[in-house]
Amino acid sequence: MSEVSDEDFAEILAQTRHFVRAAVVPREAEILAEDRVPDDLRAQAKNMGLFGYAIPQQWGGLGLDLTQDVELAMELGYTSLAVRSMFGTNNGIAGQVLVGFGTEEQKSRWLAPIATGDVVASFALTEPGAGSNPAGLLTKAVRDGSDWLIIGQKRFITNAPTADLFIVFARTRPADEQGAGIAVFLVPADAAGVEVGAKDAKMGQEGAWTADVSFTDVRVSDATLVGGSEDLGYRAALTSLARGRVHIAALAVGAAQRALDESVGYAASATQGGTPIGSFQLVQAMLADQQTGVLAGRAMVRDAARMWVTEQDRRIAPSAAKLFCTEMAGKVADLAVQIHGGTGYMRGVPVERIYRDVRLLRLYEGTSEIQRLIIGSGLVKAAQRQA
């Protein structure tokens, strides 16, 4: 059961839609050119509670459940994806580790400032050589008296350049029969030995920043070990990522909807030899494929979110939704460029940005190949358990 009534949620959704379409869409060119979300948009998002929409109300968040989260994400996907990314880690992969696995003390210390956006939290799992296979991570946490020393290297960490808190996955021992040997720690960005590298130069999502983060003998107390257990890290990472996949799928649907709207608008008005290109049946066929993909994606996202909330399926459906919707958004964006002809290849035209923005969705929080492996192996294992 969500903490937010349908009536209250309708208001939050309407406000978010208005923010996206009236405040952010007109600023897309500025976000792209400056590779930065303007401070006033950040402040508006903060005032609306968007840094903590998925954090429970007890900790100062809006308390949306995943069925509501995806409706919001479909609105946020309609514009520069950098805006969602600004508060994506607080609500999603980083914040949900604390919500799901933190001790009461850890939640009291961190969740309220995460929900308001006074603290930006980053999820630091990926390393060189440990992306698709996080179980292979090498960052270690070594006991030193009652403290831990964290030593290692992370890469591609979203919001690292602005982070106040890193949720750091580190190995306390080699994997054994007891588990993966991976724990998760709450490491303040200003702790001695934490170094954030230069902002990465990316293909798209201008205004969303990632960077390497290195940890050189970073001393943290035992109180920073999430859940007070050395064995929670791997499960916390997988659970947070699985939930995040439904959210990313919704974001992809929002971006695809925008690409479709831009395509329909262009097809209805641009002409060749005096004829609107939208009267050509081959152009109509492209619009039809885009529309069909968006409708299928939206239905799938809503179904996957419902199955997450009811706990009917927290494994296969999130991966299937992410796989289908992010691949669909890639195809819809590609068709959008095609419908725009040469115009679609020009900087400053929304579909050119969308084409680059959505490419990332098939890579992070598990590549499409990894989603296929999760779905396929999950089906086979379930059949074997029943046999």
Ligand X SMILES: Cc1cc2nc3c(=O)[nH]c(=O)nc-3n(C[C@H](O)[C@H](O)[C@H](O)COP(=O)(O)OP(=O)(O)OC[C@H]3O[C@@H](n4cnc5c(N)ncnc54)[C@H](O)[C@@H]3O)c2cc1C
Residues 209-238 that bind ligand X (CB under 6 A): 210
State which residue, 237 or 328, has the beta carbon closest to ligand X: 237
Helix (H) or strand (E) holding 147: strand 147-158
Note whether 359 binds ligand X by CB under 6 A: no
State which residue, 11 or 369, has the beta carbon closest to ligand X: 369
Name the residue with the smallest CB distance to ligand X. Answer: 131
Note whether 370 binds ligand X by CB under 6 A: yes
Of the candidate residues 61, 131, 233, 318, the single one contacting ligand X (CB under 6 A): 131
State which residue, 55 or 260, has the beta carbon closest to ligand X: 55
Q: What is the DSSP letter of 176?
A: B
Of the candidate residues 229, 291, 338, 367, the single one contacting ligand X (CB under 6 A): 367
Interface segment toward ligand X; rule CB under 6 A; list 6-14, 60-68, 329-337, 369-377? 369-377
Q: How far is CA 1 from CA 83, 308, 309, in A?
A: 28, 12, 8
Nearest approach in angstroms of CB 368 to ligand X is 7
Residues forming a β-bridge with 196:
213
Dihedral in degrees, nearest 10, Cα atoms 23, 25, 26, 30: 100
- Number of amino acids touching ligand X (CB under 6 A): 21
x/- letters, 153..192, toward ligand X (CB under 6 A): ---xxx----------------------------------
Note whether 272 binds ligand X by CB under 6 A: no
Nearest approach in angstroms of CB 218 to ligand X is 17
State which residue, 156 or 266, has the beta carbon closest to ligand X: 156
Half-sphere exposure of 178 (CA within 13 A, CB side): 11
Torsion 76-8-315-173 (CA) sign: positive
Interface segment toward ligand X; rule CB under 6 A; list 76-84, 143-151, 152-160, 295-303? 152-160
Q: Whose structure tokens read 């490491």?
A: 187
- Are 142 and 217 a contacting pair, CB within 8 Å? no
Note whether 363 binds ligand X by CB under 6 A: yes
Q: How many H-runs (helices) and E-runs (strands) does the chain carry?
A: 12, 9
Distance CA 105, CA 108 (A): 5
Note whether 125 binds ligand X by CB under 6 A: yes
Of the candidate residues 34, 40, 118, 369, the single one contacting ligand X (CB under 6 A): 369
Distance CA 365, CA 89 (A): 12
Q: How far is CA 168 from CA 65, 194, 232, 246, 305, in A?
A: 25, 11, 12, 23, 27
Query: Catalytic residue numbers?
Result: 365
- Which residues contact ligand X by CB under 6 A? 122-126, 131-132, 156-158, 202, 210, 360, 363-367, 369-370, 373
